[in-house]
Amino acid sequence: MIDYYDLAQLADKILEIADDDMPVLAEIIEDLDPETRSELLFSDFLNAYQVFYYYFREVPDILVDERLSLVPASAVRKGVLAEERDLLELVFIVPDETPEILVSDGEEILQRFIGKNAYRDAVGWADEQA
């Protein structure tokens, strides 16, 4: 387990190097050892959008970007509302090391999409339901 202070310094250095360039940030995170990467991805030093981009390598609508940018990465373990499509909610969650998008009607989960294409697949499925 990496020391909190060391993790904070690492995060600062990575964010400074990446300079808001998401592909560069994702590459840097990818090169970290698995334990450090996991601690960083689910810490409060990154936001949920940065974790979303790391896993999906997708640039979502600006509203999704803004919504996820306001949420700490640590919240991703329990699930973060990424977007609403008509009456459906798309929730981004990473319960282990595999990303998921849950599609819900607000009361129950209707579909679960898992893996690097989960976001794209969930959006497609939700749009078909409209």
pTM here? 0.95
Q: Give 5-31 pLDDT, tens digit per residue.
A: 999 999 999 999 999 999 999 999 999
Reported confidence tier of residue 1, pLDDT bands at 50, 70, 90: confident
Domain count of the chain? Answer: 1
Q: Give 71-126 pLDDT, tens digit per residue.
A: 999 999 999 999 999 999 999 999 999 999 999 999 999 999 999 999 999 999 99
Domain hosting residue 60, numbered range: 4-129
Q: Is the pLDDT of residue 40 over 90?
A: yes
Amino acid at 25: L
Q: Cα–Cα distance between 108 and 7 in angstroms, integer? A: 36
Q: Cα–Cα distance between 17 and 36 in angstroms, integer? A: 17
